Amino acid sequence: MTAAIFANATGIGGAIAVFRMSGSDIARIMCTLTGGMPAPRRASLRRLRDGSGTTIDHGLVLWFPGPASVTGEDYAECHLHGGRAVAAALTKALIALGARPAEPGEFSRRAFGNGKLDLLQAEGIADLIAAETESQRRLALDQADGAMSASIAAWRNELIGLMARQAALIDFADEDLPPEVERAMLRDVACLHHDITNAIAGGRAAERIREGIEIVVLGAPNAGKSTLVNALAGEDVAIVSEIAGTTRDVIGVRLDLGGVPVRLVDTAGVRLARDEIEAEGVRRAEAAASRADIVLLCAASPDFAAPSVPDNRCVLHVATKADLGGAIPAGSLPVSARTGAGLPALIAAVTGEVAALVARGAGPSLPRPRQIACLRDMAAALERAIGVAEPELRAADFQEAANALARLTGVIGVEDVLDQVFSSFCIGK
């Protein structure tokens, strides 16, 4: 027996309110609300009444008997007018009939528990709800649709086969099996390890899509950084002044660049600081540049002097205030944020760098740190298996790899991990 739960999945104040219900007692509750059970999987127009017979509203109701439902248990929906009073009346009636409001993610948690989706698909649903850009939507939809789960299921089958072959080598150690059998198995282990490491590498690009690309604008004081940030953002997000050192802290704005989420960051001018506040601003600017995915290194006309940046960053050299004249340094993109000259070329260059950073391979791309950690544990176990000679130790490494893969999809998992995943959902999911 599972408690009957409900949630207004559309929020308050829209034209239509959709109430979702799930649990073992939903059939009785729906019968009371609608005066009789509607036909399964067909929308029916009904008058909804509370337990005392008072009309709540007219609306569409749908009934999905379990286990053939989205949650794997009895499930229903009521589509009503979206006014606050209607929602309040239905909420009161449902509570009086024994249902309770759902916790965040509880519908998806029940679907997971009943085998309707695995943990990867559940996380994909959460990411789809939170998606702000086209690339985030596509990545999350692939995961929610089970595309990644299908690839991982293939890894699972390969690993099961390896474990079975290793068990045979242990059980028939006295049969003098030819060495080619073990060598062939180790080649297959190496191939699986290669696939996992490729997926780990692709996970960095997927993580950037999910979390966003960090682009830091760096330069000396009065290099036109804030003006450039405002021009790229299309709004005044940073204070612009002819007084050097106006920007004292890190200021960020979210952008959608070619369908990829980007955080564009303005920083304090980098120079030998004149006071403690400016020194802290310079330190923060340098720290932001060291963490950035892309650095726009600004140098202003006429001398185009610029500070140094970490060698491991992707750096685009921008010659700002190009409308004031001066010889543009080789390899720099001339830009005048005041006139707009050069901005399209700069945006195209940045968009190209962003696209390269989020380019994914053909295999599954897992964007969450938890998922990448599971893959790393699996890869480490397979690497150990390749390097050991004792069959029993290799079998133990295979088992560790299998446990890591099971944690990835939630076949086995720690309860606090599952609680953390599903608590991030919104009410009604």
Q: Which residues are annotated as a binding site for Mg(2+)?
A: 226, 247
| d(C-alpha 207, C-alpha 45), whole Å | 45
| d(C-alpha 405, C-alpha 243), whole Å | 57
| d(C-alpha 3, C-alpha 23), whole Å | 5
Q: Among candidates 173, 104, 111, which has minimal Cα distance to 144?
A: 111
Residue 49: which H helix or E strand, with range?
Answer: strand 44-49
Q: Does residue 255 contact residue 307 with C-beta atoms inside 8 Å?
A: no
Structure token pair of residue 325: 């004249």
| d(C-alpha 150, C-alpha 159), whole Å | 14
Tokens 């449902």, located at residue: 94
Residues 134, 136, 139, 145: what is their CA dihedral angle, to the nearest 10 degrees? -80
351: helix, coil or strand?
helix
Q: Rg of the chain over CA atoms, in angstroms?
A: 29
Bind-site residues: 20, 77, 116, 222-227, 241-247, 266-269, 336-338, 429
Bind-site residues for (6S)-5-formyl-5,6,7,8-tetrahydrofolate: 20, 77, 116, 429
DSSP state at residue 174: G
| d(C-alpha 225, C-alpha 309), whole Å | 15
| d(C-alpha 36, C-alpha 61), whole Å | 11
Bind-site residues for K(+): 222, 241, 243, 246
Q: Among candidates 262, 265, 261, which has minimal Cα distance to 132?
A: 261
Residues 6+ apart with CB under 8 A from 198: 361, 363
Bind-site residues for GTP: 222-227, 241-247, 266-269, 336-338
| d(C-alpha 368, C-alpha 148), whole Å | 13
| d(C-alpha 394, C-alpha 381), whole Å | 9
